[in-house]
Amino acid sequence: MRRAHTVEQVRAAEAELMSRLPDGALMQRAAAGLAYAVLDLLGSAYGRRVRLLVGSGDNGGDALYAGALLARRGCAVEAVLLSDRVHEAGLAALRAAGGRTVEATEPAKGLDVVVDGIVGIGGRPGLRDNAVAALQAVAGVPIVAVDVPSGMDVDTGRLDGPHVRADVTVTFGTHKVAHLVDPAAEACGAVHLVDIGLELPDADVESLQAADVAALVPQPAANAHKYTRGVVGVRAGSAAYPGAAVLCVAGAVSGLAGMVRYVGRAAREVLAVHPEVVVGTGQVQAWVVGSGGGAAADLALAEALAEGLPVVVDADALSHVNKRLGPSAILTPHAGELARIMGVDRAKVEAEQLAHAREAARRFDSVVLLKGRRTLAAHPDGRVRISATGVPWLATAGAGDVLAGLVGSLLAGGLSPYDAASAGAWLHGAAATLASRGGPITAGAVAAAIPEAVRDLRQ
């Protein structure tokens, strides 16, 4: 599990650790981790040219001490000082190791890497004009960010104004929210975590890893039968959109539940592709409602809710969510759908994904699965899990229908709504990666790859 802590939690842990260490020891740990990460990126040290962009905070000190280490390894290191007040001991160490200070306008030709030590984790979104100019002067050169790329809101993942777009971010002690939540996460590049010995509390924001999902996915007992493994009911599709029913069922029949029951107007099309599906009402443990449901989605949602069972509310059914559904419901909107049911602009949801997913979960007292490049599963109590699996090719028609069916099968198999939503999103992305193998995919191919994704977990 990757856990993302807040700035307040990190600072408290750092203060506690520094009280037990010699003065400056914690910064030296961070600087060493940063320097070795830069060396990994460069591949070699001798003759390489490194530029440090140094602000007034501790991140600037980390950059300066790391620069001193790189200089001693043979790099030509130069520092652009963006404040009249920088870490004096770090600057002295850089100069003693052969580094030098330069103006931001110094030609960037021949630079191999830039280290962003402009603003630390306590900085506000946006950058000052001199920092923007220093970044423009090194445009096109790979950037390694210290802790977080400068210019973003660390605790929310929000971007507002100029900011650094890093190729690699080297962070210390723990991940921060901005490393995991878009839009900030996209600007972090590859995130490298350096352990500096912090003792941290539990975190409300976390990202599932393969081992976590493997522990969640239901494993059939030796004496299992189709009913003990769970029956998922699907109310999806319409005369206009029968394919949505086929794809939703495809996600549900991935083998994670014992049986799929279909109720809707696309039974002929569903059975043509999935003859194992049972058509008609009957016993189920969870419902999936709304994919391609069209005008009948409101009735399908009402009928599913009337049974008092766990329910996945997708696509057209989301338009009819206007009250608290309760903690056994999972809503699966993309940003546009969430914007509509929350009564805000889509751009606002995309800019503040974490805040809006949490607010929707509280408002509807349900788990909200906000789909995107980084899909968020938000619990009504404020906890959030992020799924970082998947490939850009997953942005294809019908993929959301498959996801709804997959989540429904996990829900019918006995997982809690929060576990079903977060594990389902992870598996959906993993299946897309397997199906893609570097190229385009269809929603049906994603559904077909779900069993392989589960087998890979077991191995």
Which pLDDT does position 120 carry in this prediction? 87
Spell out the residues 6+ positions from residue 347 whose beta carbon is closer than 8 angstroms to its own: none
Domain limits, CATH 3.40.1190.20, in the chain: 210-458
Q: What does R_g of the chain's alpha carbons equal in angstroms?
A: 25
Q: Is the dihedral of CA 438, 440, 443, 444 positive or negative?
A: negative
Q: What is the pLDDT of residue 458?
A: 82
d(CA 65, CA 272): 66
Alpha carbons 155 and 177: distance in angstroms, whole number: 5
Provide φ and ψ at 138, rounded to 5°: -115, 25
Average pLDDT of the residues in 194-208: 96
Helix or strand (DSSP H, E) at 140: none
SS3 assignment, position 248: helix
Partners of 170 in the β-ladder:
146, 192
Q: Is the peptide bond before 183 cis (omega within 30 degrees of 0)?
A: yes
Name the pairing type of β-strands 286-289 and 231-235: parallel
Q: Are the beta carbons of 89 and 58 closer than 8 angstroms?
A: no
Higher pLDDT, 393 or 120: 393
Q: What is the distance between the alpha carbons of residues 251 and 265, in angstroms, rounded to a whole number?
A: 18
Nearest one of 166, 167, 148 to 158, comparing CA atoms: 148
| 433 phi, psi to nearest 5 deg | -65, -45
Tokens of 188: 């972090």
Question: Rounded to an integer, what distance in angstroms lies between the CA atom of residue 392 and that of residue 410?
Answer: 24
Tell me the C-alpha distance between 299 and 236, whole Å.
11
Listed in sequence order, the residues at least 6 apart from 162 whose beta carbon sits closer than 8 Å to its beta carbon are: 126, 127, 131, 132, 135, 151
Sorted by sequence, the CB contacts under 8 Å of residue 153 that are 6+ apart come out as: 124, 125, 159, 160, 178, 184
| Residue ranges of the chain that CATH labels 3.40.50.10260 | 2-206
Residues paired with residue 3 on neighbouring β-strands, in sequence order: 206
d(Cα 51, Cα 80) in Å, to the nearest integer?
7
For residues 64-84, give the mean pLDDT: 97
Whole-angstrom distance, CA of residue 173 vs CA of residue 193: 7
User: What is the tens place of the pLDDT at every residue in 385-401?
Assistant: 999 999 999 999 999 99
How far apart CA 144 and CA 147 sit, in angstroms, is: 9
**pLDDT band of 273, cuts 50, 70, 90:** very high
Helices 242-252 and 399-412: angle between axes, nearest 10 degrees:
40
Residue 123 binned pLDDT confidence (cut-offs 50, 70, 90): confident
Query: In this structure, which amino acid lies at residue 325?
Result: L
CATH of domain 210-458: 3.40.1190.20
Residues making up the chain, counted from first to last: 459
How many C-beta neighbours within 10 Å does residue 459 have? 5
Give pLDDT tens digits for 304-314.
999 999 999 99
Structurally, at CATH architecture level, domain 2-206 sits in 3-Layer(aba) Sandwich (3.40)
Locate the DSSP E strands across 35-75. Answer: 49-54
Gap between the terminal Cα atoms of the chain: 18
Mean pLDDT of the chain: 96
pLDDT digits (tens, 9 = 90+) for 227-242: 999 999 999 999 999 9
pLDDT of residue 459 exceeding 90: no
pTM, to two decimals: 0.95
C-alpha dihedral sign at 329, 223, 261, 210: positive
